[in-house]
Amino acid sequence: MANKTGHTLEDKYLVEKVLGGDTYAFSAIVKNTETLVAQIVFRMVNNAEDRKDIVQDIYLKTFHKLPGFHFGSKLSTWIGQIAYNTCFDYLRKKKLVFLDNIQGNEEHEDEYREERFNGMSEDNIESSFMRKELSGLLKAEIEKIPPIYKTLVILYHNEELSYAEIGEITNLPEGTLKSYLFRARKMLKENLLAKFKKEEL
Query: Are 114 and 179 spatial neighbours (Cβ–Cβ below 8 Å)?
Result: no
Which of residues 39, 60, 93 is at a domain's end? Answer: 93
153-181 pLDDT per residue, tens: 999 988 999 999 999 999 999 999 999 99
User: In which element (H, E) is residue 108 found?
Assistant: none
**Which pLDDT does position 6 carry in this prediction?**
54
Evaluate whether residue 43 is within a structural domain: yes
- Report the C-alpha gap between 81 and 75 in whole angstroms: 10
| Residue of 52, 46, 79 lying closest to 146 (CA atoms) | 46
Determine the structural domain holding residue 173 and report its residue range.
106-200
Residue 49 lies in a domain: yes
CATH number at residue 169: 1.10.10.10
pLDDT by residue (tens digit) across 116-152?
A: 334 434 444 444 455 544 467 788 888 889 999 999 9
CA distance between the termini of the chain: 56
Q: How many domains does the chain have?
A: 2
Shared domain check, 86 and 126: no
Is-above-0.85 flag for pTM? no
Q: pLDDT by residue (tens digit) across 50-74?
A: 999 999 999 999 999 999 999 888 9
